[in-house]
Amino acid sequence: MQKHRTSIEFPEDLWRQLSGRISARRRTAFIIEAVRDKLIRESMRCLILCGGFGVGMGPLSKSIPKAMMPVGYKPLLEHIICKLRDQGFHYFILAVSHLSEHIMRYFGDGGSLGVKIDYSLEKFPLGTAGAIKNAGSKLNGRFLVVYGDILFNGLNISGLLGFHEEKNAIATMVLARVEDASRFGLVSVDDHGRVIAFREKPKQPVPGFVNTGIYVFEPQILDYIPALTYCSLEEHVFPALIEKEKLYAYPYNGYWVDIGSPEDYEQAWKDYFAGLIE
Protein backbone atom coordinates (compact mmCIF):
# COMPACT_ATOMS: atom_id res chain seq x y z
CA MET A 1 0.00 0.00 0.00
CA GLN A 2 1.41 3.37 -1.02
CA LYS A 3 2.06 5.77 1.86
CA HIS A 4 2.15 9.57 1.79
CA ARG A 5 3.72 12.04 4.20
CA THR A 6 1.55 15.02 5.12
CA SER A 7 1.30 17.79 7.71
CA ILE A 8 -1.62 19.22 9.67
CA GLU A 9 -1.91 22.79 10.94
CA PHE A 10 -4.00 23.40 14.09
CA PRO A 11 -5.49 26.78 15.03
CA GLU A 12 -3.51 28.19 17.97
CA ASP A 13 -6.41 28.06 20.48
CA LEU A 14 -7.26 24.46 19.53
CA TRP A 15 -3.61 23.43 19.92
CA ARG A 16 -3.51 24.98 23.42
CA GLN A 17 -6.61 23.00 24.41
CA LEU A 18 -5.14 19.80 22.98
CA SER A 19 -1.79 20.39 24.71
CA GLY A 20 -3.52 20.98 28.04
CA ARG A 21 -5.54 17.77 27.93
CA ILE A 22 -3.22 15.29 26.21
CA SER A 23 0.31 14.58 27.42
CA ALA A 24 3.16 15.17 24.96
CA ARG A 25 3.94 11.44 24.96
CA ARG A 26 0.42 10.54 23.79
CA ARG A 27 -0.23 13.53 21.55
CA THR A 28 0.98 12.10 18.25
CA ALA A 29 -0.93 8.84 18.71
CA PHE A 30 -4.05 10.77 19.73
CA ILE A 31 -3.92 12.97 16.62
CA ILE A 32 -3.28 10.02 14.31
CA GLU A 33 -6.22 8.11 15.79
CA ALA A 34 -8.51 11.16 15.62
CA VAL A 35 -7.67 11.78 11.97
CA ARG A 36 -8.04 8.07 11.15
CA ASP A 37 -11.46 7.93 12.78
CA LYS A 38 -12.58 11.00 10.84
CA LEU A 39 -11.41 9.50 7.57
CA ILE A 40 -13.22 6.25 8.34
CA ARG A 41 -16.45 8.09 9.08
CA GLU A 42 -16.26 10.23 5.98
CA SER A 43 -14.71 7.82 3.47
CA MET A 44 -16.56 5.88 0.83
CA ARG A 45 -17.96 2.63 2.18
CA CYS A 46 -17.90 -0.85 0.71
CA LEU A 47 -20.84 -3.21 1.19
CA ILE A 48 -20.00 -6.88 0.71
CA LEU A 49 -22.95 -9.23 0.18
CA CYS A 50 -22.18 -12.50 1.98
CA GLY A 51 -25.56 -13.69 3.26
CA GLY A 52 -26.40 -16.28 0.60
CA PHE A 53 -26.93 -19.97 1.29
CA GLY A 54 -24.29 -21.13 -1.21
CA VAL A 55 -26.67 -23.69 -2.71
CA GLY A 56 -24.40 -24.43 -5.67
CA MET A 57 -21.59 -25.53 -3.35
CA GLY A 58 -23.61 -28.49 -2.05
CA PRO A 59 -22.48 -29.92 1.30
CA LEU A 60 -19.42 -27.61 1.46
CA SER A 61 -21.58 -24.65 2.50
CA LYS A 62 -23.80 -26.49 4.99
CA SER A 63 -21.61 -25.69 7.98
CA ILE A 64 -19.69 -22.63 6.81
CA PRO A 65 -20.75 -19.57 4.76
CA LYS A 66 -19.42 -19.67 1.22
CA ALA A 67 -17.63 -16.34 1.82
CA MET A 68 -15.63 -18.02 4.59
CA MET A 69 -14.37 -20.90 2.47
CA PRO A 70 -10.56 -20.70 2.31
CA VAL A 71 -8.46 -20.11 -0.77
CA GLY A 72 -4.75 -19.95 -0.08
CA TYR A 73 -5.34 -20.41 3.64
CA LYS A 74 -7.57 -17.40 4.18
CA PRO A 75 -11.30 -16.93 3.48
CA LEU A 76 -12.65 -15.56 0.23
CA LEU A 77 -14.01 -12.61 2.19
CA GLU A 78 -10.60 -11.75 3.62
CA HIS A 79 -9.10 -11.75 0.12
CA ILE A 80 -11.74 -9.21 -0.95
CA ILE A 81 -11.32 -6.96 2.08
CA CYS A 82 -7.51 -6.92 1.83
CA LYS A 83 -7.60 -6.26 -1.91
CA LEU A 84 -9.85 -3.22 -1.42
CA ARG A 85 -8.05 -2.05 1.71
CA ASP A 86 -4.85 -1.85 -0.29
CA GLN A 87 -6.63 0.49 -2.71
CA GLY A 88 -7.80 2.88 -0.01
CA PHE A 89 -11.02 1.42 1.38
CA HIS A 90 -11.16 1.36 5.18
CA TYR A 91 -14.88 1.04 6.05
CA PHE A 92 -16.67 -2.21 5.21
CA ILE A 93 -20.25 -3.29 5.83
CA LEU A 94 -20.85 -7.03 5.66
CA ALA A 95 -24.40 -8.04 4.76
CA VAL A 96 -24.78 -11.35 6.58
CA SER A 97 -27.48 -13.95 7.18
CA HIS A 98 -26.72 -17.67 6.74
CA LEU A 99 -24.32 -18.82 9.52
CA SER A 100 -23.45 -15.18 10.17
CA GLU A 101 -21.80 -15.98 13.50
CA HIS A 102 -18.83 -17.53 11.65
CA ILE A 103 -18.15 -14.27 9.81
CA MET A 104 -18.71 -12.00 12.81
CA ARG A 105 -16.52 -14.08 15.08
CA TYR A 106 -13.66 -14.24 12.58
CA PHE A 107 -13.56 -10.57 11.52
CA GLY A 108 -14.92 -8.79 14.60
CA ASP A 109 -14.64 -5.02 14.18
CA GLY A 110 -11.94 -5.36 11.51
CA GLY A 111 -9.11 -4.10 13.70
CA SER A 112 -6.88 -7.10 12.99
CA LEU A 113 -6.94 -6.16 9.28
CA GLY A 114 -6.52 -2.44 9.91
CA VAL A 115 -10.06 -1.58 8.79
CA LYS A 116 -13.47 -0.81 10.28
CA ILE A 117 -16.13 -3.50 9.83
CA ASP A 118 -19.85 -3.10 10.52
CA TYR A 119 -22.60 -5.67 9.97
CA SER A 120 -26.04 -5.63 8.38
CA LEU A 121 -28.04 -8.69 9.43
CA GLU A 122 -30.83 -10.11 7.24
CA LYS A 123 -33.49 -11.89 9.29
CA PHE A 124 -34.82 -13.53 6.12
CA PRO A 125 -33.50 -13.72 2.52
CA LEU A 126 -33.77 -10.32 0.83
CA GLY A 127 -31.90 -10.87 -2.44
CA THR A 128 -28.99 -8.85 -3.78
CA ALA A 129 -30.94 -5.58 -3.94
CA GLY A 130 -32.89 -6.18 -0.73
CA ALA A 131 -29.64 -6.65 1.17
CA ILE A 132 -28.47 -3.23 -0.05
CA LYS A 133 -31.72 -1.60 1.07
CA ASN A 134 -31.42 -3.31 4.44
CA ALA A 135 -27.98 -1.72 4.93
CA GLY A 136 -29.12 1.70 3.72
CA SER A 137 -28.88 3.42 7.12
CA LYS A 138 -25.17 2.50 7.30
CA LEU A 139 -24.29 4.11 3.96
CA ASN A 140 -23.19 7.73 3.67
CA GLY A 141 -23.08 8.56 -0.04
CA ARG A 142 -21.60 6.87 -3.09
CA PHE A 143 -20.63 3.30 -2.23
CA LEU A 144 -19.08 0.13 -3.61
CA VAL A 145 -20.87 -3.23 -3.59
CA VAL A 146 -19.03 -6.53 -4.02
CA TYR A 147 -20.40 -10.06 -3.95
CA GLY A 148 -18.71 -12.11 -1.24
CA ASP A 149 -18.09 -15.22 -3.36
CA ILE A 150 -15.76 -13.84 -6.05
CA LEU A 151 -12.02 -13.33 -6.38
CA PHE A 152 -10.34 -10.73 -8.56
CA ASN A 153 -6.87 -9.38 -9.14
CA GLY A 154 -5.78 -6.25 -11.00
CA LEU A 155 -8.96 -4.16 -10.89
CA ASN A 156 -8.10 -0.44 -10.72
CA ILE A 157 -10.67 1.00 -8.33
CA SER A 158 -9.61 4.60 -9.01
CA GLY A 159 -10.22 4.04 -12.71
CA LEU A 160 -13.63 2.51 -11.96
CA LEU A 161 -14.68 5.44 -9.77
CA GLY A 162 -13.44 7.96 -12.33
CA PHE A 163 -15.44 6.24 -15.08
CA HIS A 164 -18.57 6.19 -12.91
CA GLU A 165 -18.32 9.90 -12.14
CA GLU A 166 -17.58 10.86 -15.73
CA LYS A 167 -20.72 9.04 -16.93
CA ASN A 168 -22.92 10.60 -14.22
CA ALA A 169 -24.28 7.10 -13.62
CA ILE A 170 -26.56 5.93 -10.85
CA ALA A 171 -24.94 2.50 -11.16
CA THR A 172 -21.81 1.15 -12.79
CA MET A 173 -21.14 -2.57 -13.04
CA VAL A 174 -17.74 -4.11 -13.67
CA LEU A 175 -17.64 -6.53 -16.59
CA ALA A 176 -15.01 -9.25 -17.00
CA ARG A 177 -14.16 -11.07 -20.21
CA VAL A 178 -14.50 -14.85 -20.01
CA GLU A 179 -13.91 -17.54 -22.60
CA ASP A 180 -17.17 -19.34 -21.77
CA ALA A 181 -20.13 -17.09 -20.97
CA SER A 182 -22.70 -19.90 -21.11
CA ARG A 183 -22.94 -20.00 -17.29
CA PHE A 184 -23.46 -16.29 -16.86
CA GLY A 185 -25.16 -14.70 -19.83
CA LEU A 186 -23.76 -11.73 -21.71
CA VAL A 187 -24.16 -7.99 -21.15
CA SER A 188 -24.81 -5.74 -24.15
CA VAL A 189 -23.28 -2.26 -24.04
CA ASP A 190 -23.61 0.67 -26.46
CA ASP A 191 -20.80 2.90 -27.77
CA HIS A 192 -21.11 5.21 -24.74
CA GLY A 193 -20.65 2.44 -22.20
CA ARG A 194 -24.34 2.24 -21.26
CA VAL A 195 -25.81 -1.17 -20.56
CA ILE A 196 -28.67 -1.72 -22.99
CA ALA A 197 -29.61 -5.37 -22.37
CA PHE A 198 -28.84 -8.59 -20.56
CA ARG A 199 -28.69 -11.46 -23.00
CA GLU A 200 -29.81 -14.96 -22.07
CA LYS A 201 -27.16 -17.57 -21.37
CA PRO A 202 -25.86 -18.81 -24.74
CA LYS A 203 -26.44 -22.50 -25.40
CA GLN A 204 -22.91 -22.98 -26.69
CA PRO A 205 -19.67 -21.80 -25.02
CA VAL A 206 -18.83 -18.35 -26.39
CA PRO A 207 -16.43 -15.66 -25.15
CA GLY A 208 -17.72 -12.32 -23.95
CA PHE A 209 -18.15 -9.85 -21.11
CA VAL A 210 -20.16 -10.89 -18.04
CA ASN A 211 -21.26 -9.22 -14.82
CA THR A 212 -18.60 -9.65 -12.11
CA GLY A 213 -20.71 -8.72 -9.07
CA ILE A 214 -18.71 -5.53 -8.46
CA TYR A 215 -20.63 -2.23 -8.58
CA VAL A 216 -20.46 1.47 -7.80
CA PHE A 217 -23.79 2.96 -6.72
CA GLU A 218 -25.11 6.41 -5.98
CA PRO A 219 -27.50 6.75 -3.01
CA GLN A 220 -30.41 7.10 -5.47
CA ILE A 221 -30.19 3.36 -6.08
CA LEU A 222 -32.07 2.91 -2.80
CA ASP A 223 -35.12 4.61 -4.37
CA TYR A 224 -35.42 1.68 -6.78
CA ILE A 225 -35.51 -0.97 -4.03
CA PRO A 226 -38.57 -1.71 -1.85
CA ALA A 227 -37.98 -2.16 1.87
CA LEU A 228 -38.24 -5.45 3.76
CA THR A 229 -38.97 -7.61 0.75
CA TYR A 230 -37.02 -9.84 -1.61
CA CYS A 231 -35.55 -7.87 -4.51
CA SER A 232 -32.86 -8.76 -7.05
CA LEU A 233 -30.49 -6.29 -8.69
CA GLU A 234 -30.36 -8.30 -11.90
CA GLU A 235 -34.08 -9.07 -12.19
CA HIS A 236 -35.77 -6.01 -10.70
CA VAL A 237 -33.47 -2.99 -10.38
CA PHE A 238 -31.20 -3.05 -13.40
CA PRO A 239 -34.03 -3.21 -15.99
CA ALA A 240 -35.43 0.03 -14.53
CA LEU A 241 -32.00 1.69 -14.68
CA ILE A 242 -31.49 0.54 -18.29
CA GLU A 243 -34.78 2.21 -19.18
CA LYS A 244 -33.54 5.48 -17.67
CA GLU A 245 -30.09 5.08 -19.32
CA LYS A 246 -28.38 5.29 -15.93
CA LEU A 247 -26.64 1.90 -15.82
CA TYR A 248 -23.07 1.80 -17.19
CA ALA A 249 -20.49 -0.92 -17.65
CA TYR A 250 -16.77 -0.73 -16.87
CA PRO A 251 -14.78 -3.36 -18.80
CA TYR A 252 -12.05 -5.19 -16.91
CA ASN A 253 -9.52 -7.60 -18.38
CA GLY A 254 -7.84 -8.87 -15.20
CA TYR A 255 -8.29 -12.05 -13.22
CA TRP A 256 -11.79 -12.86 -11.95
CA VAL A 257 -13.53 -16.01 -10.77
CA ASP A 258 -17.05 -16.60 -9.45
CA ILE A 259 -17.13 -19.42 -6.88
CA GLY A 260 -20.49 -20.87 -7.87
CA SER A 261 -19.72 -24.59 -7.83
CA PRO A 262 -17.19 -27.07 -6.38
CA GLU A 263 -15.45 -27.03 -9.78
CA ASP A 264 -14.99 -23.24 -9.51
CA TYR A 265 -13.62 -23.66 -6.01
CA GLU A 266 -11.13 -26.26 -7.18
CA GLN A 267 -10.08 -23.94 -10.02
CA ALA A 268 -9.57 -21.06 -7.58
CA TRP A 269 -7.13 -23.19 -5.57
CA LYS A 270 -5.25 -24.09 -8.77
CA ASP A 271 -5.12 -20.40 -9.69
CA TYR A 272 -3.78 -19.58 -6.24
CA PHE A 273 -0.92 -22.04 -6.57
CA ALA A 274 -0.28 -20.73 -10.08
CA GLY A 275 0.18 -17.24 -8.63
CA LEU A 276 -2.95 -15.71 -10.19
CA ILE A 277 -4.43 -14.91 -6.77
CA GLU A 278 -2.34 -12.88 -4.33
Per-residue DSSP letter, 194: B
Query: Can you tell me the distance from the alpha carbon of 278 to that of 275, in angstroms, rounded to the nearest whole number?
Result: 7
Q: What is the pTM of this model?
A: 0.84
Instruction: Say yes or no: 116 and 30 in one domain.
Output: no
Instruction: Say yes or no: 237 and 268 in one domain.
Output: yes
> What pLDDT was estimated at residue 10?
64
Instruction: Say yes or no: 28 and 94 in one domain.
Output: no
Per-residue DSSP letter, 44: P
Domain of 119 in residue numbering reads as 44-273
Instruction: Say yes or no: 103 and 217 in one domain.
Output: yes
Per the prediction, the chain carries an average pLDDT of 88
Domain assignment of residue 162, yes or no:
yes
∠ at Cα 184 (182, 186), nearest 5°?
Answer: 85
Residues 6+ apart with CB under 8 A from 173: 187, 195, 211, 212, 214, 215, 238, 247, 248, 249, 250
List active site positions. Answer: 201
Query: Can you tell me the distance from the alpha carbon of 100 to that of 131, in angstroms, rounded to the nearest whole number?
Result: 14
Rounded to whole angstroms, what are the CA distances from 24 to 18, 42, 152, 274?
10, 28, 44, 50
Domain assignment of residue 9, yes or no:
no
Domain assignment of residue 236, yes or no:
yes
Q: What is the total count of domains within the chain?
A: 2
Percent of the chain with pLDDT over 70: 88
Query: Where does the pLDDT of residue 1 fall: very low under 50, low under 70, confident under 90, or very high at 90 and above?
Result: very low
User: Is pLDDT of 39 > 60?
Assistant: no
Domain assignment of residue 2, yes or no:
no
Domain assignment of residue 67, yes or no:
yes
Considering only residues 21 and 198, tell me which one the structure prediction assigns the higher pLDDT. 198
